[in-house]
Structure 1
Amino acid sequence: MEVRTSYDGLFVDGAWVPSTGPSADVVNPATGRAIGSVPEGTLADLDGAVAAARRAFDEGPWPRMTQAERGRLLHGFIEVLDAHRAQLGAVITAESGALPWLVDSTHFGLGFGRFSHAVDLAAGGLDSVTPLQVGAGSVLGGTALVHEPLGVCGLITPFNFPLFLNLSKLGPALALGNTVVLKPSPLTPLEGLVLGAAAAEAGLPPGVLNVVTGAAEVGDRLVADPRVDMISFTGSDRTGSAVMRTAADSLKPVVLELGGKSALVVREDAEVARAADIAFGSFTLHAGQGCVLLTRHVVHRSLVDDFLDALATRAEAAVIGDPAAPGTTMGPLVSEAQRQRVASYVEIGAGEGGEVVCGGKPVEGDGFFYRPTVIHGVTPKARVAQEEIFGPVAVVLPFDTDDEAVAIANDSRFGLSGAVVSADTGRAWEIARRLRTGSVRINGGGTAPDLAAPVTGWGASGVGTEHGLAGLLEFAQPKSIAFRAG
């Protein structure tokens, strides 16, 4: 397999097929300059990809293989990617602006892990049989519960963690025998197209995995196509709502992992330095471009001044620059449009009475960099405290009692993640149970991600589940079969 920064075609039906659309540049967000080009997929390209996936499911061998047979091919698929880890890592950094340690830990470590865990779960067997019973006339019988693949799955992924998110969706979809049309973000298409090359080398049958680039209209058509049986989408809540409305016309199931405005609760007994480390590390991770990041810091009033000082100190020490350069601690936003969005929200926060404690401006020069920014003095109802910014901006909100902290944390349309820092782990547990969110980390959480843990969102943060057994079953149709033993 060759890891490339330019492609002349799209991966459809097991081959590289010329696109009917124009070529589009792939831009390195750290420099603002093109590193390669890919075809800009069209509706005609998508039609061919959906047709190929439909044939592969209806007529091909993939859904008819045993779990063990599919598992061998899918583990081989990951092995192909792993064999090109160094080259692929450089492409991820250049295309998405991810720091090398984040590439290793999230895209490779967690991405490969989520994929392989789904494959192993499927291979372990999901089907079951109720205890046999003797009925009238001494007839022996029972009921079997089996899980069938849904069919053609449309997977739509965003720009922030492309390889990780692509693999997280592909693992369960393919492991259960579905076929796939993957539509990556137009800002980060290389981490989608490289999966086509890996599929070809690993020997996946034609049409099992198809990768089509393109703008929003391509994603819209993928959702609307009646030949597609299921949609898994990660992105903004606004787009997720549109996906759900469109999918309703053909009554296809959807899994939506959407936005977040997650709260970090810092209790009165918390160690400020530790809380600030957790807070700063989260809202600046990947320049704040993550739906699960902690961007609302709900801090006990007695600690606010020290907490703000600690965040400002960390912001001043941040090394902002090319993620490929040694020593860089925060990279760029993905595009100039995203940087302008962040800047506009900082202006909104100032207009809402907020004090910009640190940051609040872009970094001059090439690339799409913005300084870590902390805003204090707005109310929990302020736009900067309610709306997802998707950049390195945090809002500090004081509280006096635990009940008030929970109320502030839960005062959000979103409910994706959250965190509590406290010396009293029992009390932190009680607060964690009261937070209306899909996951909570106490004092930084565990030492490593739990691959079996599901990810789900409340409210505007999503519909359905990703990861773990519950996430795997989103790609399956349960069927009961009643039978007589003789």
Structure 2
Amino acid sequence: MFASTTYDRLFIDGKWVTTHDQRTTAVTNPATGTTIGTVPEGGAADLDAAVDAARRAYDDGPWSRMSLRERSVLLHRFVDVLDSHRSELASTITAESGALPTLVAGTHFGIGFGRFRHAIDLAGSQLDSATPLRMGAGSVMGGTALVYQPRGVVGLITPFNFPLYLNLCKLGPALAMGNTVVLKPSPLTPLEGLVLGVAAAEAGLPPGVINIVTGGGDVGESLVADPRVDMISFTGSDRTGSHIMALAARSLKPVVLELGGKSALIVREDAPVRQAVDIAYNSFTLHSGQGCVLLTRHVVHRSLVDEFLDGLAARAENAVIGDPLDPETTMGPLISREQQQRVAEYVAIGENEGGKVVTGGRPIDRDGFFFSPTVIHGVTPKARVAQEEIFGPVAVVLAFDTDDEAVSIANDSRFGLSGGVVSADTGKAWEIARRMKTGSVRINGGGTALDADAPITGYGASGIGAEHGLAGLLEFGQPQAIAFRVG
């Protein structure tokens, strides 16, 4: 079976190797709470071997010295192998992360595979030619050209919410630019990391180009702190991101951090309420609210609040919550019992802060880790539930009277990852979007799919650097200016 639910070894230096301590970790299906398989639990010795393999592969192997065309053939073959096993992969993703099949097909496969391939194409425009900066300066015939070199060994650390998608979105640009990698997937979703070793072996990638080590925070810390690692790309919480940045500073290695969000959706006085409700509902219940770019603060004009709350509550109460494989299901589980408890604790915090739970607010009494879509109204913009990332299906509705007040509320956050504006006046919505301190804004829901050329960036606690598009690709390259003279 290509996408197994049980592994007994890690993928290091192009081989499947037994872990040093031979410990294992159970993998849980969040929709049932039952164990679906086991994986080896990596440790310090395993990470050391993986970093050593990646270092040798970069310094002495062919990967970084291949032309982009040669790497491109192997990388396209790698993602083609994954693509040829969609059915098995889809089952694994749903069983491990609780994602609905529509989300698997659209995000993990459609966008994830697409961005992997797009990174290869973008790299071709940057690596197969030099960009002239100056030619024929003064009396000397010559000039200066800009090229990009690989960073070297890159550590990739990914979270549980969109595992295959995020693994591919990091691997694509890192490998296309000529780096070798050590991937440390979330301990909650390790299967979608280890399966990449199966694809790498089948595609014939050189040994050491991709290395995969499971484990907890200690493994991630060791990866970041290792002086043999040249760069870290991390997606996860702002607290962990801050810790990673401090560890990386010891060896002055660059980091790309895509962190949390508490993003605002501004609903102007002229907004079509039904459209605003649809956007708002989908944005806080997608994957049970487990997404950093989701819009969980709904900043609504006071004249529309009652109608908006009625519509949002009706949508939430009509949600079909249950088995992701049931075609009638519209919202699946949270990832773990701990996350379910965390969401419940935040609802209680919101009530203690003066908020009213308009609908939801409770775990679902059934097997698995389900939580009802929850709408809270009546807290101030400074309340914890309006300021802190909950990572669950909880929306906080805040009222405003003027556009200036709406922008002020939206920007009153230490996060700044995404945002939205709903308005019948697209020009006014554009003006408001330009005033929002956030990495991306969708006006009236934006396009039908994420643009592969659009980078994801963050203000404040939402991160450092860029992911996706040309800006994200170049994070994995070191610019080099080469001055030359003719004759």
| TM-score normalised over the length of structure 2 | 0.98
Q: Is the 1:62–1:205 contact (alpha carbons within 8 Å) kept by the matching residues of 2?
A: yes
The residue that corresponds to 1:20 in the other structure is 20
The residue that corresponds to 2:132 in the other structure is 129
Amino acid at match of 2:177: L
User: For each residue in 1:182-217, what CA deviation from the matched residue of structure 2 results, as whole angstroms up to 9, or x when unmatched?
Assistant: 000000000000001101111110000000000100
Partners of 1:134 and 1:36 lie apart in 2 by 65
User: For each residue in 1:102-138, what CA deviation from the matched residue of structure 2 results, as whole angstroms up to 9, or x when unmatched?
Assistant: 00000001101111111111122343123531654xx
Partners of 2:4 and 2:16 lie apart in 1 by 13
Partners of 2:287 and 2:189 lie apart in 1 by 15
User: For each residue in 1:52-111, what CA deviation from the matched residue of structure 2 results, as whole angstroms up to 9, or x when unmatched?
Assistant: 000000000000000010011001111000000011011000000000000000000110
SS of equivalent to 1:444: coil
Partners of 2:266 and 2:334 lie apart in 1 by 26
Partners of 2:347 and 2:91 lie apart in 1 by 32
Partners of 2:17 and 2:144 lie apart in 1 by 46
Partners of 1:201 and 1:400 lie apart in 2 by 59
For residue 140 of structure 1, report the CA deviation from its aligned partner: 1.9
Partners of 2:250 and 2:134 lie apart in 1 by 40
The residue that corresponds to 2:276 in the other structure is 275
For residue 365 of structure 1, report the CA deviation from its aligned partner: 1.3
The residue that corresponds to 2:185 in the other structure is 184
The residue that corresponds to 1:155 in the other structure is 156
SS of equivalent to 2:405: helix
Partners of 1:135 and 1:71 lie apart in 2 by 40
For residue 327 of structure 1, report the CA deviation from its aligned partner: 0.8
Partners of 1:479 and 1:125 lie apart in 2 by 12
Which has the larger displacement, 12-21 or 149-158? 12-21
Q: Is the 1:236–1:259 contact (alpha carbons within 8 Å) kept by the matching residues of 2?
A: yes
The residue that corresponds to 2:35 in the other structure is 34
Instruction: Give yes or no for the alignment of 1:255 onto 2:252.
Output: no
For residue 324 of structure 1, report the CA deviation from its aligned partner: 1.1
Amino acid at match of 1:338: Q
- Residues paired across the two proteins, number: 484
The residue that corresponds to 2:473 in the other structure is 472
The residue that corresponds to 1:11 in the other structure is 11
Instruction: Give yes or no for the alignment of 1:144 onto 2:134.
Output: no
For residue 448 of structure 1, report the CA deviation from its aligned partner: 2.2
The residue that corresponds to 1:338 in the other structure is 339
Amino acid at match of 1:132: M
User: For each residue in 1:436-473, what CA deviation from the matched residue of structure 2 results, as whole angstroms up to 9, or x when unmatched?
Assistant: 00000000001222100111000000000000101000
Return 5+ residue gaps in structure 2 as ranges. none
Partners of 2:107 and 2:137 lie apart in 1 by 52
Partners of 2:423 and 2:393 lie apart in 1 by 24
Partners of 2:60 and 2:294 lie apart in 1 by 43
For residue 271 of structure 1, report the CA deviation from its aligned partner: 1.0
Q: Is the 1:163–1:191 contact (alpha carbons within 8 Å) kept by the matching residues of 2?
A: yes
Q: Is the 2:2–2:88 contact (alpha carbons within 8 Å) kept by the matching residues of 1?
A: no
Q: Is the 1:135–1:141 contact (alpha carbons within 8 Å) kept by the matching residues of 2?
A: no
Partners of 1:13 and 1:320 lie apart in 2 by 43
Partners of 1:462 and 1:447 lie apart in 2 by 25
Partners of 1:268 and 1:163 lie apart in 2 by 40
The residue that corresponds to 2:302 in the other structure is 301
Q: Is the 1:112–1:167 contact (alpha carbons within 8 Å) kept by the matching residues of 2?
A: yes
Amino acid at match of 1:156: I
The residue that corresponds to 1:436 in the other structure is 437
Partners of 1:447 and 1:32 lie apart in 2 by 34
The residue that corresponds to 2:451 in the other structure is 450
Partners of 1:171 and 1:190 lie apart in 2 by 19
For residue 29 of structure 1, report the CA deviation from its aligned partner: 0.1
SS of equivalent to 2:126: coil
User: For each residue in 1:195-244, what CA deviation from the matched residue of structure 2 results, as whole angstroms up to 9, or x when unmatched?
Assistant: 01101111110000000000100000000000000000000000000000
What pairs up with 1:316-335 in 2 under 5 angstroms?
A: 316-335=317-336
Amino acid at match of 1:318: A
Amino acid at match of 1:66: S
The residue that corresponds to 2:169 in the other structure is 168
SS of equivalent to 2:448: coil
User: For each residue in 1:305-362, what CA deviation from the matched residue of structure 2 results, as whole angstroms up to 9, or x when unmatched?
Assistant: 1111101100111000011111100000000000000000000000000000000101
Q: Is the 2:126–2:147 contact (alpha carbons within 8 Å) kept by the matching residues of 1?
A: no
The residue that corresponds to 2:78 in the other structure is 77
The residue that corresponds to 1:349 in the other structure is 350
What pairs up with 1:172-251 in 2 under 5 angstroms?
A: 172-251=173-252
CA RMSD of aligned residues (A): 0.9
Return 5+ residue gaps in structure 1 as ranges. none
Which has the larger displacement, 126-135 or 355-364? 126-135
Amino acid at match of 1:286: H
| TM-score normalised over the length of structure 1 | 0.99
For residue 144 of structure 1, report the CA deviation from its aligned partner: 1.7
SS of equivalent to 2:266: strand
User: For each residue in 1:389-448, what CA deviation from the matched residue of structure 2 results, as whole angstroms up to 9, or x when unmatched?
Assistant: 000000000000000000000000000000000001111000000000000000000122
Partners of 1:100 and 1:261 lie apart in 2 by 26
What pairs up with 1:318-397 in 2 under 5 angstroms?
A: 318-397=319-398
For residue 142 of structure 1, report the CA deviation from its aligned partner: 1.1
Partners of 1:442 and 1:430 lie apart in 2 by 11
SS of equivalent to 1:124: helix
